[in-house]
Structure 1
């Protein structure tokens, strides 16, 4: 089994290259989650942690720092993935970059949508990897408010 395919507790990692860092993927569709994981590892993620629930995502965020979090807005255990985004945003100025994954972008309140990049399902997993690799800065609510008062 190649290093990129070794699996332990829902995680895969690969040898060091230009790393996207540790990515937490919150997705309850197992097929999509695995496709995202493969695309992220191929693009240079040092680790991808798959989380099928909000509770598991919170555990993953407590275990170690993450460079980004990909949030399925409508999980089976909760129908408000944006609440997770609000919690992530509260981790401080160096919080993980937030990327929303949803089939209903219009259902996300604008003040929440502004916290991160929005990818409308269905999308090519390579598009997610490219977005992370591009280094497009995260734009959170506080940054938007600062910009409005400047």
Structure 2
């Protein structure tokens, strides 16, 4: 049973998404949230290797990336790669239990969500409505989103 907003209830379009997550339950949950929020296609990969193969076939609008994967502990290398995919790289959302482990230069490439996070936070991040600047980070440190 899904409690995610239907595409009709959202006022934004997410676009296609690539989810790189090695926890199968979390990957399915993220996929369900994105499809429920209006993404026309979600591709799920469990490893950096699978993600790179998927990126060779198509360029997603959004990349949701677990940074500690089963095959590499620096999953953010995928984020570095997608920034080279042309003038409009995919929106990047880092999904991690340890945000401090992401180098600041890498974290600045996208939005960092700390696991566990609410479905609404993911939708905001992938749709570009989540604010990620200094004041938003300070607000997040003072009170939960």
Contact 2:17–2:39, Cα closer than 8 Å, also in 1: yes
Matched ranges for 1:57-96 at <5 A: 57-96=51-90
Q: Does 1:42 align with 2:36?
A: yes
Q: For the residues of structure 2 that align with 1:138 and 1:65, how far apart are their CA atoms?
A: 24
Contact 1:26–1:54, Cα closer than 8 Å, also in 2: yes
CA drift of 1:53 comes to: 0.6
Structure with bigger strand share is 1
Q: Does 1:23 align with 2:2?
A: no
Q: TM-score, normalised by structure 2?
A: 0.77
The corresponding residue for 1:106 is: 100
Aligned residue for 2:41, secondary structure, equals strand
Q: For the residues of structure 2 that align with 1:99 and 1:19, how far apart are their CA atoms?
A: 16
Q: For the residues of structure 1 that align with 2:39 and 2:96, how far apart are their CA atoms?
A: 22
Contact 1:19–1:46, Cα closer than 8 Å, also in 2: no
Q: Deviations over 1:93-124 (max 9, x none)?
A: 21111110011111111111100000001112
CA drift of 1:138 comes to: 9.1
Task: Using the TM superposition, name which of 40-49 and 122-131 deviates more.
Answer: 122-131
Contact 2:93–2:125, Cα closer than 8 Å, also in 1: no
Q: TM-score, normalised by structure 1?
A: 0.75
The corresponding residue for 1:124 is: 118
Contact 1:28–1:53, Cα closer than 8 Å, also in 2: yes
